[in-house]
Amino acid sequence: MAELFTIGDPIRDTKAQSGPLQERWEARRFSARLINPANRRGLSVIIVGTGLAGASAAATLGEAGYQIKSFCYQDSPRRAHSIAAQGGINAAKNYRNDGDSVRRLFYDTVKGGDYRSRESNVYRLAEVSSAIIDQCVAQGVPFARDYGGLLDTRSFGGVQVSRTFYARGQTGQQLLLGAYQALERQVAAGSVEVHTRHEMLDLIVIDGKARGIVVRDMVSGTIETHLADAVVLATGGYSNVYHLSTNAVGCNTTAIWRAHRKGALFANPCFTQIHPTCIPVSGEHQSKLTLMSESLRNDGRIWVPREAGDDRDPREIPDGERDYYLERRYPAFGNLVPRDVASRAAKNQCDAGRGVGPGGRGVYLDFADAITRLGRPAIEEKYGNLFDMYRKITDEDPYQVPMRIYPAVHYTMGGLWVDYDLESSIPGLFVVGEANFSDHGANRLGASALMQGLADGYFILPNTISDYFARNPGTKAVSGSHAEAVKAADAVRARINRFLTINGDRSVDSFHQELGSIVWEHCGMERNADGLQHAIGLIRDLKEEFWRNLKVTGVNEELNQTLERAGRVADFFELAELMCIDAFHRSESCGSHFRSESQTEDGEALRDDESFAYVAAWQFGGANAPPTLHKEILEYENVELTQRSYK
């Protein structure tokens, strides 16, 4: 196989702060230049995405006086995928008096990410976490409360304290409604302009700075250019490259991938998270998978039959013939080990023939003990909507029969590279939430996604974007007639025309399904060098067929979902290849990236800190040209790099 990539110059985060960890964020806030309120009214910002990160950023920047244009491809900002988050949001408030603190949340997050995240970023995230809860309570988010009326909490994987605030199994929905209300308040005030059913198809870069986007009106097909003084991407993750994931079917990578092609570095693309508690695949007819909240592991016990091939009704298998394998292997954390550990353990049980359900691709999540101990009403109060969802999908009653679960692709830790200010390698392009790589390392701990999205949007970006404007005063106004804007729009039209004129024999979905199978098989829960090289060859061959044999029906000047999917899948092909290259180059195991060549004697992930303690930031090399790897060395001054252990 030809050279897969080249090595470029190392990079560093020039906005990173030095000094005591506890003082770095305050130091950066003080050193960041300010824009006075009167001048903010003359500055405009485009924000793409209306999930927790995008909605909170638009609401906060609008409140500050900036002129905001907000874009989403859904028919309402409320339909952003953040609404699907179930279990909770972390904050270091220590309401349970169980030893929690900002430093412990920081440590748990760095350790959970297998020491592949920046100390400064993670500590800042832990530091502002408490303010997020206060903000959301003030907005009226109906967090669960205990008998005395105080906010209730529960535990999530990878921690030994109870720091996760929740709203039954609908936490993401309730938080998004709070952010949406704040956004709509600014719409009414005239500082935010929302454009629904518009999909970003390219980034406009003028004089080396991000100055706008090209969008397609998804109803009329009109190609529009929108310009501003800065652009913020809050478009979520790219798990749908696997075709089957817990993400909504519409979730895609196009916004960040188009920015990558314009020069934005893409960091750690192979770091994708596998969630351990999802409803198993039921057949090839599926377009997505269903997540069952990790919070269920607070009271549910995970087990498989001790004997391979035991297909008895689980209620007929006595306790002595069950293997509660997480409790056995990881006694300190039990069923609450991090997601990557729980996912690999479930896969190993199924590979050994002890899996349950169709095809042996499942393990049991059993609530019988919890119902006996707490009573059914208590379980209904905590998890009722999740149990109802499971019953509707599987036609099985989890109050009577254990749930069947299996790992599935969920969150992506990779994303566009950003500095401490959340600014990408393209000046004026900021990236927030799951769309950036910054806080989770090689594995996201549960209940941290909502925390990062709201931290970025409410508290971090509003403090850092002003510094960009202050450092670039008097930015020249540009219009849609600017040569670069016209060039970007013409490129979008040409690409759309190409999709419509290939006139082959295969559907978009058939290509997506085949691509997803390749990536899942070779760059999923477990990877190896031979498989990754094989996958790269398969992806390239399939991509060539895609551009030769794709069939897109309809025309551009109408609602055309097949055309929409064609553009997204075309970008998934390029991303999938980079993911496999990134996974191939990183020959260690860490977090959710498990290389079979690099494991301990008992099958755990084995890191190589001497060779790989860095962020892998990739530069687009051009069509059919190898990408360039830039390394950002990770420095650890406040935690010791040790082999992760949850035993």
Point out the residues that are catalytic.
339
What's the one-letter identity of residue 214? V
6 to 259, 503, 532, 588, 620: CA distances (angstroms): 20, 36, 17, 19, 11
Residue 403: φ, ψ to 5°: -65, 155
CA 397-399-404 angle, 5° bins? 60
What's the one-letter identity of residue 117? S
Question: Three-state DSSP class for 205?
Answer: strand
CB under 8 Å to 396, separation ≥6 — which residues? 390, 403, 404
Torsion-angle region of 55 (φ positive above 0: left; ψ -120 to 50: alpha; else: beta): alpha
Residues pairing with 291 in the sheet: 278
Report the alpha-carbon distance of residue 37 to residue 61 in Å, rounded: 11
- CA 266, 267, 268, 271 torsion-angle sign: negative
- Helices marked H in 472-601: 483-502, 508-523, 529-549, 561-585
Report the alpha-carbon distance of residue 144 to residue 448 in Å, rounded: 18
Residue 211: φ, ψ to 5°: -125, 0
Report the alpha-carbon distance of residue 510 to residue 45 in Å, rounded: 38
587 to 111, 367, 539, 581, 636: CA distances (angstroms): 20, 39, 20, 11, 21
Which pairing describes strands 363-366 and 403-412: parallel, antiparallel, or unpaired? antiparallel
- Nearest by Cα to 392 from 314, 296, 292, 316: 292
DSSP code per residue over 21-83:
GGGHHHHHHHHS----HHHHTT-EEEEE--SHHHHHHHHHHHHHT-EEEEE-SSSSGGGSGGG
Length, in residues, of the chain: 647
What's the one-letter identity of residue 580? C
Token reading at 14:
């020039």
Residues pairing with 322 in the sheet: 305
Residue 646: φ, ψ to 5°: -120, 25
